[in-house]
Amino acid sequence: MALTLGKGPFGKESTGRFNFEVTAPDGHVLYLEETEKRVRAVFNGEPVADSRSVKILHETGHLPVYYFPEEDLRGDLLEGTDHTTHCPFKGDASYRSVRVGDRVAENAVWTYENPLPSAPPIAGHAAFYGDKMDRWLEEDEETFGHPHDPYHRVDVLRSSRSVKVTANGAVIAETQRPMLLFETGLPVRFYIPPEDVAMEHLTPSETRTVCPYKGIASYRSLNAGGETIEDAAWYYPEPLPEAQKVRDHLCFYDGKVEIEVRD
């Protein structure tokens, strides 16, 4: 996210300035780099890809993607398909499915056999749809969502700012001890201790989302003024190490509620 999404230096909402003109073709950035991590993709209990030479492709408007050398893929688990797609910046992609036992991940792997001359050197490499694999590991640590971006950072800082959350005239939360979560390319988020939230207004939701930097988020809907606001707040009951300080703290969607912050 840090390089090519949101407010990243090559993102469409970047707020920084270079001392040179960015002249990527059509304003579209492709940046391929190596990582020293061992990366594995696992499906139905079998490692489909296992590489110490994986590359990460950063692309404007897209999340980072792992590209594996072909020799680090289990070719015996891959089946060619007729599916193809075209990217104006990389070229024509062909696809393969992954079959392990009685399970099949259709068109889970793509390859640019003859990428455009303006694309980085991705020939001889293959990429996966992350959500079509069962597990991803960087070294021996399981990861969630998309690859960890080496330029993405999460900082959680204690604060004495005054934060007040209201909805339909009702005060939902009020605190002077929020945790402020600063995440690369995203607006600052205010996480409020559950003791400072009127929990009687909140009901559990079945919604779950995954962040590769913070973990699996659970949600709560909000009942205020006779209205139900779905998934108005989220929290991390078991956050990843970078976000341990916000464990069980609630963060509210600006736009679904009113958030007033005073120094």
Structural domains of the chain, with CATH? 25-143 (2.170.150.40), 154-262 (2.170.150.40)
Q: Give yes or no for a contact between 206 and 231, defined as CB atoms under 8 angstroms apart.
A: no
Residue 76 DSSP SS3: helix
Kind plus residue range of the DSSP H or E element containing 204: strand 202-211
Higher pLDDT: 5 or 203? It is 203
- Range from 13-17, 116-120, 162-166, 198-202 carrying the lowest mean pLDDT: 13-17
C-alpha radius of gyration, the chain, whole number: 22
Label residue 1 by pLDDT band (50, 70, 90).
low
- Judge whether residue 91 has pLDDT over 90: yes
First-to-final CA distance of the chain: 29
- In angstroms, the CA 138 to CA 37 distance is 6
Q: Which residues make Cβ contacts (< 8 Å) with residue 204, sequence separation at least 6?
A: 218, 219, 220, 221
Q: What's the pLDDT at 99? A: 98
pTM here? 0.80
